[in-house]
Chain A
C-alpha cells in the first residue's frame, strides 16, 4: 500500500480541473413514505477513489442503484461519463463495472467459466475476451483455482472471484458495494491493494463501506451520508479538520480527587472530561504537547496511573460530531 498515501493526500483542489465521471443533482428517491435519498448531490471526478460512508440504511446502496439505473427515482438528474444514465444505456454500461455486496456468481460454473461468462456479456471478440479473462484471473491471483467451483473456495477467494467478475471487462468506472464484508483481515488487505491497483491503472472507483478505516485508507474523497443526505464531502484530513476534537487522551486511574480533576479541566485546549470505569478521558481541541502537560500535572499531584493512550480523531468522530450518533449504530 505504498502508493496509497498519494491517493489519500491528493489535493482536493487538483480535482476541480478533472472531468466529472458522475454528476448527481437533487436526487430524490422514496419508498412509499420513507425518503431514502433526500435531494442528494454528488460530483465524482475521473481517477478518484470516492468513498460513500454511512451507517446501514443511510442510502449508499440506493444511491448506487439509482446511478446504475437499477432503481427508478422520483426526482433529480444523473449523468455518468457525460451522458444521462438510463436502463437501456448499454454503451455506457459497457464502461461500468459493478462489484456487488453479495457474491454474485454461479456455483455450477468453475472460477474460469464464471469470469468468462460475465466477460462475455461485455466483450464479443473471442481472443480479446480470452485475454481479459486471463488478466482478471491474474489480477485477483486466482490462477491456481481456475478449475475450482465457488463452493470449494474460502470466503476471501470467493470475494476475489466476485471482484474479478465485476472488473474483467476493464471498465473505466467501477462501483464496489462493501466488497470486504465478512472477509478476514489478510484477504481484506489484498482486496484493498487490488482496488488501489485498479485505480492506478486508470479506473475511477466508487467505494461504499461502513468500515471507516478502509475508506480512510484508500479513498481520495469521502462523502458522509446519513438519512439519504450528503452531510459533507472531502478528503479524510479535510473532514477531520471540520470537527472540534483534535486529540483524545485516555488514562487509567484507580481514583482521582475532585480537586485534581478541576485542575486538569483547566489545562489549555481541554473542552471535555469524563471519568468512567477507572478511566479518565480528556478531549482536546487544538494545541500541542497536550499529553506532556497532563502527565506533568498528574506527577505533581503524586497520582499513580496505569496505561495511557492518545488517539487522533477518526471518521467515526467526524460522523459522531456531525450527526450525534456512531457510524456503526
Chain B
C-alpha cells in the first residue's frame, strides 16, 4: 500500500481548496442558524404593562374597569400630581396612567341610553380634546404599550356601552363586560414563506457547490501528479503492476471523497440536530453520497484530461458556479425560467437538487406521493448514470492517451 500511503502524504499539500471553501460554507451556515434562533417567532402571548389608575368616580363602572386592568397589567401606586406623573412617565417607570373623572359612569350611561346625545366611539381624551367628562390618559409617546392599553380600554368601554344601551343595569353591564373581555382568542401565527424554509434543506442544497469544489480541488492535483509522464514512466518500470497502483489510487480517492462528504454530513447533525428527521436524513445522506461519487468521477476525468494543474481552479469554478446558478442551488427555482431549468438538466446538480426539493416538501418519507417517490428514484438513477458516464469518458480518454 505504498502508493496509498503516499497519496495521503501528498494530499496534505493540496488542502488549500478545503481551507478556502469549507470555512466560508460553515460561516454562512452559522449565520443562518443564528438568524433562525434570534428572529423567528413561533409563539404568541399577550403583554403586561405597568399602569397607574386614579379613580375619582368610585362607581361600579370605574371599579370594574380598574379591576379588569389590574388583572391584566401590573398596577403601580404613585402620588397624583403632575410633576410625579411626568417624572414617572419620563423615566419609563410607568407605561400608562389612567384618570377616571368624577361622574364618568353617569356620563357614559347617559350617552349609551341616548344615542342622539354624544359620540360614544371615543372614551378617552386625546391630544386634541380636553373634555372633563372623558377619561384622561398619560403615556409614553408612540409607545406600543400605550397603544395596547388605549385599545383595551376603548374595547372595554364599547362593550359596556353596548350592554347599557341594550337595557342592562350597571352591575349587570359591568359583570357581562368583564366576562366578554375574558374570552380569549386563539392566535395562530401564519409563518411567512421565508420563515418556512428549512435550514437543513439550505445546507444540503448548498453542499452541491461546496462538495464539487472541494473534492475536485483536493483530489485532482494528486491524480494529475501520478498521471505525469515522467512519474508514470518510473511507475511503469517498477515491479508493481499499473493495475495495483491504480487500485490504490482509486481506493485512496474514494476514502478521501467520502471523508469530506462525511465531514459535511456530521456538521449538519451538529448544526441542525433538532431539525433532522431520521427517514429523510437517510435519503439526504444517500443523495450526498451518490453526488460525491459524481464529483469523484469528474475529478478522475479532469485529472485525465489536464496535464498541468494551472487550469484546474478555473475549470472547477466554471463547473461549480455554473451548475449552481443554472440548477437552482444559489437561486430559488421558483424565480428561474423554464428554459434555464431545462438546460440545467444536463448537469448532475439539477437532479441532486430535485431530490432535495422533494425531501423538503414533506415531513416524512411516508407522506410522499407517488409523483414524489418517482422523482426521487428517477433522480438517484440519473445521478448514478452521471457518475458512471463521467468515469467511462475518463477511462476512454486515458486509454487513447496511452495508445
Q: Which A residues are closer than 8 A to B by beta carbons?
A: 68, 70, 87-88, 90-91, 93-94, 96, 98, 100, 102-104, 106, 108-109, 113, 117-118, 120-122, 165-166
B13 interface neighbour in A98, A100, A108, Cβ under 8 Å? A108
Question: Are A165 and B239 interface neighbours, CB within 8 A?
Answer: no
B225 interface neighbour in A94, A108, A118, A121, Cβ under 8 Å? A108
Could you pull out 24 A-B pairs where Cβ atoms are within 8 angstroms? A68-B236, A91-B239, A93-B238, A93-B239, A94-B239, A96-B237, A98-B237, A103-B230, A104-B230, A104-B234, A106-B225, A106-B231, A108-B9, A108-B10, A108-B13, A113-B6, A117-B2, A117-B3, A117-B6, A121-B2, A121-B240, A122-B239, A165-B234, A166-B234
Most chain A CB atoms below 10 A, which of B9, B13, B233, B237: B237
Question: Are A113 and B235 interface neighbours, CB within 8 A?
Answer: no
Question: Are B239 and A102 interface neighbours, CB within 8 A?
Answer: no
Question: Are A68 and B237 interface neighbours, CB within 8 A?
Answer: yes
1/0 contact string of B223-235 vs chain A (CB within 8 Å): 0010000110111
Q: Are A88 and B241 CB-contacts (below 8 A) given A70-B236, A117-B2?
A: yes
List B contacts of A109 (CB < 8 A).
6, 9-10
Question: Are B239 and A121 interface neighbours, CB within 8 A?
Answer: yes
**Bound CA span A108–B231, Å:** 13
With both chains docked as a complex, state the minimum distance between the C-beta of A99 and any C-beta of chain B, in angstroms.
Answer: 10
List A contacts of B10 (CB < 8 A).
106, 108-109
Question: Are B230 and A102 interface neighbours, CB within 8 A?
Answer: yes
With both chains docked as a complex, state the minimum distance between the C-beta of B399 and any C-beta of chain A, in angstroms.
Answer: 15
**Bound CA span A90–B6, Å:** 21
Question: Are B233 and A100 interface neighbours, CB within 8 A?
Answer: yes
Chain A residue nearest in CB terms to B235: A121
Chain B residue nearest in CB terms to A121: B238
| Residues of chain B at interface, number, CB under 8 A | 19
List B contacts of A117 (CB < 8 A).
2-3, 6
Question: Are B238 and A104 interface neighbours, CB within 8 A?
Answer: no
List A contacts of B2 (CB < 8 A).
117, 120-121
* Binding site secondary structure of chain B: helix
Question: Are B237 and A70 interface neighbours, CB within 8 A?
Answer: yes
Most chain B CB atoms below 10 A, which of A108, A117, A166: A108
* Residues 255-278 of B contacting A (Cβ, < 8 Å): none
With both chains docked as a complex, state the minimum distance between the C-beta of B13 and any C-beta of chain A, in angstroms.
Answer: 4
Question: Are B238 and A118 interface neighbours, CB within 8 A?
Answer: yes
List B contacts of A87 (CB < 8 A).
236
With both chains docked as a complex, state the minimum distance between the C-beta of A93 and any C-beta of chain B, in angstroms.
Answer: 5
Question: Are B239 and A104 interface neighbours, CB within 8 A?
Answer: no
* Binding site secondary structure of chain A: loop
B231 interface neighbour in A93, A94, A104, Cβ under 8 Å? A104
1/0 contact string of B3-47 vs chain A (CB within 8 Å): 100100110011000000000000000000000000000000000
**Bound CA span A87–B402, Å:** 14
List B contacts of A165 (CB < 8 A).
234
**Bound CA span A104–B238, Å:** 13
Chain B residue nearest in CB terms to A72: B403
**Bound CA span A117–B238, Å:** 11
With both chains docked as a complex, state the minimum distance between the C-beta of A206 and any C-beta of chain B, in angstroms.
Answer: 13
With both chains docked as a complex, state the minimum distance between the C-beta of B380 and any C-beta of chain A, in angstroms.
Answer: 37
Chain B residue nearest in CB terms to A175: B237
Question: Are A93 and B237 interface neighbours, CB within 8 A?
Answer: yes
**Bound CA span A212–B9, Å:** 41
**Bound CA span A235–B225, Å:** 41
B238 interface neighbour in A91, A103, A106, A122, Cβ under 8 Å? A122
**Bound CA span A243–B236, Å:** 41
List the 7 shortest-distance A-B pairs measured between CB atoms, nearest first: A120-B2, A104-B230, A121-B238, A94-B239, A108-B13, A93-B239, A108-B10
List A contacts of B3 (CB < 8 A).
117, 121
**Bound CA span A113–B225, Å:** 15
With both chains docked as a complex, state the minimum distance between the C-beta of A37 and any C-beta of chain B, in angstroms.
Answer: 18
List B contacts of A91 (CB < 8 A).
239
List B contacts of A90 (CB < 8 A).
239-241
Chain A residue nearest in CB terms to B6: A117
Chain B residue nearest in CB terms to A68: B237
Chain B residue nearest in CB terms to A110: B9
With both chains docked as a complex, state the minimum distance between the C-beta of A176 and any C-beta of chain B, in angstroms.
Answer: 13
List B contacts of A70 (CB < 8 A).
233, 236-237
**Bound CA span A117–B6, Å:** 7
Most chain A CB atoms below 10 A, which of B230, B234, B236, B240: B234
**Bound CA span A93–B13, Å:** 31
Contacts beyond the supplied A108-B225, A117-B6, A165-B234: 10 A-B pairs with Cβ under 8 Å: A70-B236, A88-B241, A90-B239, A93-B238, A96-B237, A113-B9, A118-B238, A121-B3, A121-B235, A121-B238
**Bound CA span A94–B240, Å:** 9
**Bound CA span A108–B309, Å:** 13
List A contacts of B14 (CB < 8 A).
108
Question: Are B225 and A100 interface neighbours, CB within 8 A?
Answer: no
With both chains docked as a complex, state the minimum distance between the C-beta of A6 and any C-beta of chain B, in angstroms.
Answer: 30
Chain B residue nearest in CB terms to A149: B13
With both chains docked as a complex, state the minimum distance between the C-beta of B383 and any C-beta of chain A, in angstroms.
Answer: 32
1/0 contact string of B207-231 vs chain A (CB within 8 Å): 0000000000000000001000011
**Bound CA span A109–B13, Å:** 9
With both chains docked as a complex, state the minimum distance between the C-beta of A189 and any C-beta of chain B, in angstroms.
Answer: 25
1/0 contact string of B367-402 vs chain A (CB within 8 Å): 000000000000000000000000000000000000
With both chains docked as a complex, state the minimum distance between the C-beta of A13 and any C-beta of chain B, in angstroms.
Answer: 33
Question: Are A104 and B233 interface neighbours, CB within 8 A?
Answer: yes
Q: Are A98 and B241 CB-contacts (below 8 A) given A108-B225, A117-B6?
A: no
Chain B residue nearest in CB terms to A70: B236
**Bound CA span A88–B241, Å:** 7
List B contacts of A93 (CB < 8 A).
237-239
**Bound CA span A162–B11, Å:** 22
With both chains docked as a complex, state the minimum distance between the C-beta of B303 and any C-beta of chain A, in angstroms.
Answer: 15
With both chains docked as a complex, state the minimum distance between the C-beta of B17 and any C-beta of chain A, in angstroms.
Answer: 15
1/0 contact string of B356-369 vs chain A (CB within 8 Å): 00000000000000
Most chain B CB atoms below 10 A, which of A94, A103, A109, A121: A121
**Bound CA span A166–B230, Å:** 12
**Bound CA span A121–B239, Å:** 6
List B contacts of A100 (CB < 8 A).
230, 233-234
B234 interface neighbour in A98, A108, A113, Cβ under 8 Å? A98
With both chains docked as a complex, state the minimum distance between the C-beta of A28 and any C-beta of chain B, in angstroms.
Answer: 19
**Bound CA span A88–B225, Å:** 23
With both chains docked as a complex, state the minimum distance between the C-beta of B230 and any C-beta of chain A, in angstroms.
Answer: 4
Most chain B CB atoms below 10 A, which of A91, A94, A100: A100
